[in-house]
Amino acid sequence: MAEKILVTGGAGYIGSHCVLELLQAGYVPVVIDNFHNAIRGSEELPESLRRVQDIVHQPVLFQELDITDEAALQELFRKHRFSAVMHFAGLKAVGESVQKPLEYYRVNLTGTIRLLETMKAHGVRNIVFSSSATVYGDPKYLPLDEKHPVGGCTNPYGKSKFFIEEMIRDLCKAEKDWNAVLLRYFNPIGAHESGMIGEDPQGIPNNLMPYVAQVAVGRREFLSVFGNDYKTDDGTGVRDYIHVVDLAKGHIAALKKLKENCGCKVYNLGTGTGYSVLQMVRAMEKASGREIKYRITARREGDVASCYADPALAERELGWKAAFGLDKMCEDLWRWQLQNPTGFSKN
């Protein structure tokens, strides 16, 4: 009998790529999303999931639901027998979190607590949590391994990820029948090779590569490079960019880990290689054949010079390693952007 997996926030960029991998791995994903960061498609399905259906030629079970709505969560868990939960739902804009801390803690923390309580009430005690390398704060050493201190986060978004990690860790300590895998993402970029799903930021992209792709496709005039006076080879910020499909496959590996009654485990999902902003600009010019104009501007508040992963633990314990290199990440990003200049929305 195929295992049913609840995917919260599964209409988003990472979530939709994980839904696709779940279907291809023979699981039955049940997706909930409140459309906070997703475009409505037809048949009341988010457009991203309608396209996942087209790619894998299988129906996607979806229900519009907000994870802070306790009654709706209870109803959902009465309707389905889940073997595990993949939890993506939450607010995720770093800058916005500084302006609206209470909103971020209400949604991300209260939503997660309601989800965990409902899981417990229905005997579902297996969770994969979408965490972030941002929990490491300013790196004390590089590459970052899972032993690096956490909690020095500089913004409410990152703190909410750290607090949720701690809540889940404490729950697993108190109740030994819980299993949790906390996945610390580095910088997910790119898109499924079909070019049909990808990252579709609403408004001006906060993150580098969606912005670079929009410059390449002519939607933005130039990129602002946030500082070139960092202690890095070319002075611009260095990050560990990982293909979103590699990241999604890491979630399938994490599901298998839960089966080992693993308790609470934490893994970095990164490639172990760092690239600078200017290296990413050049890689995108190569993939797109377009010139990407940029201007050096002031540093962005809260940015660190370099951040990249030691991915060895996930390779050792999950049997997972990122397979795609920078060229593939940029080629797949370009295909998505070129085929969808305005993302999932038509205009």
Catalytic machinery residues:
157
Contact between 96 and ligand WQD per CB under 6 A: no
Question: CA 177, CA 258: separation in Å to the nearest integer?
Answer: 11
Is residue 225 involved in binding ligand WQD (CB under 6 A)? yes
Distance CA 80, CA 70 (A): 16
- DSSP annotation of 173: H
Stretch that binds ligand WQD, among 20-28, 121-129, 224-232, 319-327 (CB under 6 A): 224-232
Would you say 27 or 88 has its CB closer to ligand WQD? Answer: 88
258 contacts ligand WQD (rule: CB under 6 A): no
Residue 229 burial (C-beta neighbours within 10 Å; 0-12, 13-18, 19+): exposed
Q: Which amino acid is at 305?
A: A
Least distance CB 252 / ligand WQD (angstroms)? 20
Residues 2-61 contacting ligand WQD, CB under 6 A: none
Asked whether position 228 contacts ligand WQD by CB under 6 A, the answer is no
Residue in 338, 238, 218 with CA at minimum distance from that of residue 279: 238
- Does residue 274 bind ligand WQD (CB under 6 A)? no
Applying CB under 6 A, which of residues 129, 136, 211, 308 lies at the interface with ligand WQD? Answer: 211
DSSP class of 134: G
- The continuous run of DSSP H or E covering 330 comes out as helix 326-339
- Using the minimum distance from each CB to ligand WQD, give the nearer residue, 32 or 277: 277
Residues numbered 231-250 forming contacts with ligand WQD, rule: CB under 6 A: 237, 239
Residue count of the chain, please give it.
347
Q: Is 207 in the site for ligand WQD (CB under 6 A)?
A: yes
Strand-strand pairing, 187-189 and 223-226: unpaired
Q: What is the CA radius of gyration of the chain?
A: 19
What are the residues binding ligand WQD (CB under 6 A)?
92, 94, 132, 134, 185, 187, 206-208, 211, 223-226, 237, 239, 277, 300, 303
